[in-house]
Amino acid sequence: MGDNEPQTDGGTATGREGAQTVDYLDEEINLFKPATPFMRDNLKAIFGLFGLWLLFVFGPPVASYVAPEFMFETRVLGGYPLNFFLSAIVTPAAGLVLCAVYAWYRDRLDEKYDITHEAEAESGAATAADGGEQ
């Protein structure tokens, strides 16, 4: 996340341009080969956050598997065993925070590529207009 931010600001102008010239319906969709600048930015966030998510979801059980004594004997907040507390309370909370971060990041991306969801009808017409056959 952190290292995307400077690029987001710096790339605003080219991003806007890109949004007008790219015809999204002509570009192949492939999870590992993003074909448009928008898709590249989006996938960067998706994979970055996905990595963090893996850590939060499977970190506690893996740690409990590797060091069961430590995870069970360590007590937090007055008595929760660490493994229990992490999986039952922290993991769902982390999932929630990651969701919010992604939703927020996508709002920033929308700004960068000059996308607005406010005036649906207008922009819908614009889609049809500039998306025509070359």
Partner 1 sequence: MIEPVFLEYTNALDEGFKLVPALTIVGMMLLFLGIGFFFRVAAVDDLWVAGRSIGSIENGMAIGANWMSAASYLGVAALIATAGYYGVGFVVGWTTGYFILLIFMAAQFRRFGKYTAPDFVGDRFYSDRARGIAAFTTLVIALVYAIGQGSGMGLMAEYILGVSYEAGVIVFMAVTVAYVALSGMLGATKNMAIQYVILILAFLIGLYAVGLSQGWSTVLPYIEAGPETAQLIDAFHAEFAEPFAVNSFYMWTALVVSLILGTCGLPHVLVRFYTVDNERTARWSTVWGLFFICLLYWGTATYAVFGGLLYSDPVQDTDTAVTLGEADSFMQMPGADGDALVALTVQLADMPEWLVGLVAAGAVAAALATTAGLFISASSAAAHDIYTNLYKTDATQREQMIVGRTTILLIGVLTAIIALNPPALIGEMVAMSFAIAACVFFPVFFLGLWWENATQEGGIAGMLAGILISFGAIANDTAIPMYTGVEGAVSTELATIVPGLGSALVGVPVVFAVIIVVSLVTENPPEDVKRLVRQCHSPEPMEKLQSAEDAAADDD
The three-state secondary structure class of 46 is helix
CB nearer to partner 1: pick between 10 and 99: 99
Please report, as ranges, the residues that interact with partner 1 according to CB under 8 A.
Answer: 19, 24-31, 38-39, 42, 45-46, 49-50, 53, 56-58, 61, 64-65, 68, 71-72, 75-81, 83-85, 87-89, 91-96, 98-100, 102-103, 106-107, 109-110, 113, 115-117, 120-121, 123-124, 126-128, 131-133
- Nearest distance in Å: CB 107, partner 1: 7
Point out which residues pair with 76 in neighbouring strands.
80
- Nearest distance in Å: CB 6, partner 1: 21
Point out which residues pair with 81 in neighbouring strands.
75
Under a CB-based contact definition with an 8 Å cutoff, are residues 45 and 1 in contact?
Answer: yes
Phi, psi of 35 (to 5 degrees): -100, -15
d(CA 108, CA 95): 20
- Nearest distance in Å: CB 27, partner 1: 6
- Nearest distance in Å: CB 5, partner 1: 19
CB nearer to partner 1: pick between 3 and 30: 30
Tokens 């987001």 sit on residue = 8
CB nearer to partner 1: pick between 6 and 132: 132
Quick one: how far is CA 43 from the chain centroid? 7
The number of residues making up the chain comes to 134
